Structure 1
């Protein structure tokens, strides 16, 4: 199910530099990209093909280990959930994420080289797409395989190789640089791309970085980069004058048949989606009504303690499915305990229908209006523009929930001031925040707690929680359900645990790239 393309020169040269027979072929023996049409076709392949969401979601605090008696697992799922270095080969493994991103980068760079050779006058939009896709793949890589950006320490923290040209040598040597250097280069690519992007060159805009998708990415990037004003401004460009009118129609989602296929298909084709990425992945099984992968899952007890059914400022005692326009799906039985918000389709592509074999597939939505609204709310909080932040949070919640979710700054302050910080003994939705930037205790922290909780609910199963955990120095307690129904703490991922940077693939380490440190 994993395929390498000769165009992925950077990956092949890193990982397979010892394969002499293969490398007897010069890397430039490839199709000539010498026209506008060919460049546009090449850019279809400038998007990452390895699904990062499963690794991130299982690494986060959005799962419990339902116990050793549950046989519905695999070694790679256990390794992700327990923050072990990945040794298994699978469509969801880190080598697939790494090579899928660098393969996309190689295509972006090849397109840029061709544009430079042909002349940019009639290819500015294509140049914009090539730059923004190159930035996006590097953004994923640095946030998965490195520590989070931190203005204090990122000048020393290991980054990832930033590829700015197509590789033409047989055995190139790469340096990882620092996280700060990677962020600076991502920023440069984004800023160069934004004025160039035009939706006019896309036949199906949802699978490309349209102008709004690019600005949504720029907003999230600048939020992670601690550029609060830019994050706010770029999110505003996406949202326009009527943010509520741009959000997902959760009422319509709730009126669909209560079945995985119609609701997930609707989720990935909604007008609020800004970018869609197809992957070879079993995500739809792991976060669907299936036993597959059910040992490590978002359980009902987790939902009540911390996520979908935990209290909010406008309902301090907790909420239930009845509060949702699009009600969560709850499955409970022997060896299955899943509370789900359906959004990830389980698709199957048959290669042999008679034999019943083929590929697991899914489609992820990395950017959408709802999440961009929460990006703006968080940026407003950091800018101490609390009235705008509360307005955005109320607009989001008022569209997402059925119940009266209107709240005030005073309500938010009082709720989180009274809520106990999460501990090993009593998990709650209020986490101790230890970011590298300053969050003032009291009103600012309480608002941040609320926006993080809103994002956790909105993006459940999508992997984004892992990045918030890293950015805010949130410690994760990994709980395991015991046979008697009790909970056991099996590990704690502390603020400075080096495992927060997932280990780069073993083949890449073997080829000479410096590994992430481990205790």
Structure 2
């Protein structure tokens, strides 16, 4: 996926609703539906709808709330007040409390941004077939982008606000509201987990047929990007043969990995400026098959620490550790150890080649192809170690041994990407990997069992207040 110099041209004002109104579309509250988009250009042509799908500020954003919901970090009550924003919300998340947002006035930025993306996609899908213009290839591509971006948003929503996919219960487990039209008067209830996954799958398979192999910029979906999300989706569903198929497809089109030996901290700059010449923006990340990044860039920088358990998983000479932990952040030294830093000063939440290697390795291990799994792990690891420090895993291991190594590598490679919540949810379904988390904070001990109801985020109180037909998730009683 060759890089291009990014020149962001201002888009025309083709705005139908603000983000807030787009979000409230899915709440069904008519008090918010007095819509008169005066001074806005109503989209009519294929080019107009392409520009709607070109909104980098909207479609590059991924979720943030899942970062503290893992077993890989530690926070201390004597330091949490150093956080420069959302102290209460961060504490609530870290302790797996019933609600992150306590008031009906508090917006949930993940819910709102993801449904905002879905609204724009639905506007495009409702109108692109009738849009003016003769460029039929562009019409197909724009439609494919809208299908793919809608699927990506629903993938995050279903994994944040609903139970883990389980083929024995997902047909009845509560999913999330699933608008498929841009209807500002719709009052939507929650559909099922299975229905949302079916929509995601169908959208992605349709998009795969029409999207290009190489997007203009990597925040836009492409064929290998969609194939990568299909691999991720099928992995999450436990359909390892399908996940392997689509990981293979994506990596056959694009498989670039950075060699971490070619980066280092600048000798004349503080380390919190990040390694050089590490890509500092999503569109420059050559490992991004489909680039996204959370709206909040510093979820780990201040007052958050790595657990001893995770630290022990890093082998000697692993530059993933070297680049991720520094003496002091830009906000000063932490009190309990090194500061955590995302190497590019941003966290990744899209589809990346490194994760696809890990998906392929895990699936091969689960399907009895241990040597193939180890080969992929070694391909990735060889790019991540100091010169002379890389030691290849032996290829004559059992499938269970290869699987354990694949899951270990997921933890050290994807630590800063916020992936652990979703791995905990799916792995807790397997008794051999199920895990109990214990937190000690402000003199109290909190225990999170593998079946804890608060692995599923609460539907925002603001949403339920505006639309009581949306049923709340069961809560664990951890207030």
* TM-score, with structure 2 as normaliser: 0.81
Say whether the 8 Å CA contact 1:307–1:457 is kept in structure 2. Answer: yes
Aligned to 1:118: 131
Tell me how far apart the structure 2 counterparts of residues 126 and 242 of structure 1 sit (CA, whole Å): 22
1:391-447 Cα deviation digits (max 9, x unpaired):
11111112212323211255x6xxxxxxxxxxxxxxxxxxxxxxxxxxxxxx44443
**1:76-475 equivalent positions in 2, closer than 5 A:** 76-84=89-97, 85-87=99-101, 95-118=108-131, 121-122=136-137, 123-169=139-185, 172-198=186-212, 202-203=215-216, 205-240=217-252, 243=255, 246-254=256-264, 256-257=266-267, 259-263=271-275, 266=279, 268=281, 269-277=284-292, 280-281=295-296, 283-284=297-298, 286-288=299-301, 292=302, 294=303, 297-299=304-306, 302=307, 305-310=308-313, 319-320=315-316, 322-324=317-319, 327-328=322-323, 329-331=325-327, 335-340=335-340, 342-345=342-345, 364-402=348-386, 403-409=389-395, 443-473=398-428, 474-475=434-435
Say whether the 8 Å CA contact 2:218–2:289 is kept in structure 1. Answer: yes
Shift of 1:48: 4.8
Tell me how far apart the structure 2 counterparts of residues 27 and 445 of structure 1 sit (CA, whole Å): 58
Tell me how far apart the structure 2 counterparts of residues 129 and 217 of structure 1 sit (CA, whole Å): 13
Alpha carbons of structure 1 residues 196 and 104: separation in structure 2 relative to 1, 3 Å: same
1:290-345 Cα deviation digits (max 9, x unpaired):
xx4x1xx223xx2xx3224436xxxxxxx34x343771424376634345353352
Aligned to 1:38: 48
Residue 461 (structure 2) pairs with residue 506 (structure 1): yes
- How many corresponding residue pairs? 434
Tell me how far apart the structure 1 counterparts of residues 438 and 44 of structure 2 sit (CA, whole Å): 53
Say whether the 8 Å CA contact 1:133–1:209 is kept in structure 2. Answer: yes
Say whether the 8 Å CA contact 2:320–2:412 is kept in structure 1. Answer: no
Say whether the 8 Å CA contact 2:90–2:100 is kept in structure 1. Answer: no
Shift of 1:368: 1.4
Shift of 1:458: 0.8
Alpha carbons of structure 1 residues 25 and 479: separation in structure 2 relative to 1, 3 Å: closer
Alpha carbons of structure 1 residues 326 and 69: separation in structure 2 relative to 1, 3 Å: closer
Secondary structure at 1:306 match in 2: helix
1:335-363 Cα deviation digits (max 9, x unpaired):
34345353352xxxxxxxxxxxxxxxx56
* TM-score, with structure 1 as normaliser: 0.75
Residue 52 (structure 2) pairs with residue 52 (structure 1): no
Shift of 1:27: 8.5
Secondary structure at 1:159 match in 2: strand
Q: CA RMSD in A?
A: 3.2
Secondary structure at 1:390 match in 2: helix
Tell me how far apart the structure 2 counterparts of residues 226 and 58 of structure 1 sit (CA, whole Å): 25
